[in-house]
Amino acid sequence: MNKTTQAEIAVIGAGPGGYAAAFRAADLGKSVVLIDRDPTLGGVCLNRGCIPSKALLHISKVMDEAHSLSKMGVLYNKPSIDLDQIRSHKNKIVSQLNQGIDKMAKARGVETIQGLASFKNNNELSVKTTSSDSTIKFQQCIIAAGSTSSMIPGISIEHESILNSRTALELNDIPKNLLVIGGGAIGLELGQVYSLLGSKVTLVEFMPNIIPGADEDIVKPLYRKLNKQFDSILLSSKVTKLEVQKNNSINVTIENGSSVTRSNYNKVLIAIGRKPNLELLKIENTDIKLNVDGYIDVDAYQRTSVENIFAIGDIVGNPMLAHKATHEGKVAAEVCSGHPAAMDCQAIPSVVYTDPEVAWAGLNEVEAKQNKIKYNKGEFPWAASGRAIAMGANQGKTKILFDPENKKVLGVGIVGPGAGDMISEAMISIEMGVDAEDIALTVHPHPTVGETFAMAAEAFLGTITDLYVPKK
């Protein structure tokens, strides 16, 4: 029997954006039902992405730091890897956070359903669970269905030796050699993890540089380190063929211009991006419109072309980041609840959690030159930072782009340990419209890598004493 229930707000997807939307709407007095296919809340980010990857990155970073201490007179034996224990540690962290989200849902009175939700029309959802089918009639709906890993165009193959971000995080074994396809955040982070755990890693990237979204000078210190850690890095290259062998290894054909190479790998990780989870939603049963890029089209209030249906997160387009989804979720919930809200942020920060970390926000130099936007910049090399030198992080750098007229911050790029935390100060600067003098005159603690933000502003102003900058 098909049961029909009523809901003020139905939220599809319990990832960072979905549960934020559900919890905020509940806090504003709405009755909310939260639907997700997974048995646990948290979505891809918590269960199969951001959090487990950071747990593994922390382990690999500590291993690398321990190794680097040999240069400082502290010697360790070669580490012994217990994969079962590492997996247990990772899963424990995920489980702890799962439980926390579940408790918050219960405390707020949010009804949670494990099932597959799809649209029947502009006002109804069909929900399939393991035991029954039901219909939810909603006043308003927030779509937070997320995304899934993209595959290589023209290559459709599934095999246990061909990994994606989810299966790579399962850490079933450490292959002798691993090919990583894609030089973005996921490929670099997981590639570094596997490399430090013992795999010989080869990276293939279609573009002429890794992390195409960031300036080359900010990426360069990471590239130098990966060049030492990885077996090889193949830029401006593409994989054209994958062939599974009888021993479960993968023969790979790689093209670089007119050059074609064929190599064999124990496993291949495909990390070329993600695509929106649209296929199961049956949005064709609604009047929801997609944009030219194939994402759900929304306005500044996260509202779709249907008045009572909103969409947030990966399913509305780039950047596909958890923190963007969270903010969009809160906006959608507040608008649904009759409160004034809009997604009008000046920038979205991006972080690659490798070692060293790479972080950027706002305008970068490539974009500025492409769009003929005038800028000046202040830079501070971490080779002049006492704290960075003590940490062995003298390859780091802090760069700020300023408007030449009003000296306000246009964009920031940082590379080095803790760059992902430092970019928060950059975001406040961009959002608040602060100028170079505001930053330079703010007393930063010494010795820290955080003070390099102020020093970059001082370098721009010509007031810096920790560097000698010849007068122009």
Q: Are residues 9 and 117 in the same domain?
A: yes
> Do the domain assignments include residue 67?
yes
In-domain check, residue 467? no
Q: What is the DSSP string of 382-447?
A: GGG-HHHHHHT-TT-EEEEEE-TTT-BEEEEEEESTTHHHHHHHHHHHHHHT-BHHHHHTSPPPSS
Our answer to whether residue 446 is catalytic in this structure is yes
- The domain boundary residue, chosen from 246, 272, 298: 272
What's the pLDDT at 411? Answer: 97
Residue 254 lies in a domain: yes
Q: Which of 272, 293, 326 is the last residue of a domain?
A: 272
What pairs with residue 37 in β-bridges? none
272, 296, 316 — which closes off a domain? Answer: 272
- pTM for the complete prediction? 0.93
DSSP 8-54: EEEEE--SHHHHHHHHHHHHTT--EEEEESSSSSSHHHHHHSHHHHH
Indicate which CATH number applies to the domain containing 377.
3.30.390.30
**Both structure tokens of 123:** 């006002």
- The total of structural domains in the chain comes to 3
Mention every residue, 6+ apart, whose C-beta is less than 8 A from residue 225.
Answer: 355, 356, 395
The predicted structure's pLDDT at residue 1: 54
Pair 15, 138 in one domain? yes
- Which of the 8 DSSP states describes residue 466? S
pLDDT beneath 50: ranges in the chain: none
For 432-448, how does the pLDDT look when each residue is reduced to its tens digit (9 = 90+)? 999 999 999 999 999 99
Range of the domain at 74: 3-148+275-336
CATH number for the domain harbouring residue 264: 3.50.50.60
Give yes or no: residues 14 and 138 share one domain.
yes
37 part of a folded domain: yes
Identified catalytic residue from 159, 323, 327, 446: 446
pLDDT, tens only, 316-375:
999 999 999 999 999 999 999 999 999 999 999 999 999 999 999 999 999 999 999 999
Look up residue 444 and give its amino acid.
H
> Do 233 and 361 reside in the same domain of the chain?
no
